[in-house]
């Protein structure tokens, strides 16, 4: 069965200002004892002019992941340059 040709569609997006936020850290413990803390920081939200069959708008978001690594207590970092 042939798929319908979608062509190049232009979608109108409108920026929606972020008025309130509560960015929480997600914490993960790794097998080597390291703890990773990760959070998503929302930078921009754009809203599509169309809605789906349930009346819900589509949103496009621009975001950034922030990551903190906390190594095991007593761990010391040693930098070694590997020569080819």
Domain region containing 33: 24-70
- Asked if the structure places residue 59 within a domain, the reply is yes
Instruction: Work out how many domains the chain is built from and give that number.
Output: 1
Residue 36 in any domain: the answer is yes
Q: How many residues does the chain have?
A: 84
Give counts: helices (H), strands (E), the chain: 0, 4
Rounded mean pLDDT for each run of 10 residues along the chain, 84 residues in total: 61 92 93 92 92 90 94 71 70
16 assigned to some structural domain: no
In a domain, 11, yes or no: no
Domain presence at residue 12: no
User: Considering the domain boundaries, does residue 47 fall inside one?
Assistant: yes
Residue 34, in any domain of the structure = yes
Asked whether residue 83 is assigned to any structural domain, the reply reads: no
Distance CA 59, CA 8 (A): 19
Residue 71 confidence (pLDDT): 82
pTM assigned to the model: 0.62
Would you call 33 helix, strand, or coil by DSSP? coil
């Amino acid at each position: 069965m042939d798929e319908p040709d979608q062509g190049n569609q232009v979608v109108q997006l409108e920026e929606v200002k972020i008025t309130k936020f509560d960015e929480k850290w997600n914490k993960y413990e790794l097998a080597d004892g390291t703890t990773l803390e990760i959070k998503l920081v929302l930078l921009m939200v754009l809203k599509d002019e169309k809605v789906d069959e349930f009346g819900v708008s589509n949103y496009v978001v621009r975001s950034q992941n922030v990551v903190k690594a906390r190594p095991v207590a007593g761990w010391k970092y040693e930098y070694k340059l590997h020569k080819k």
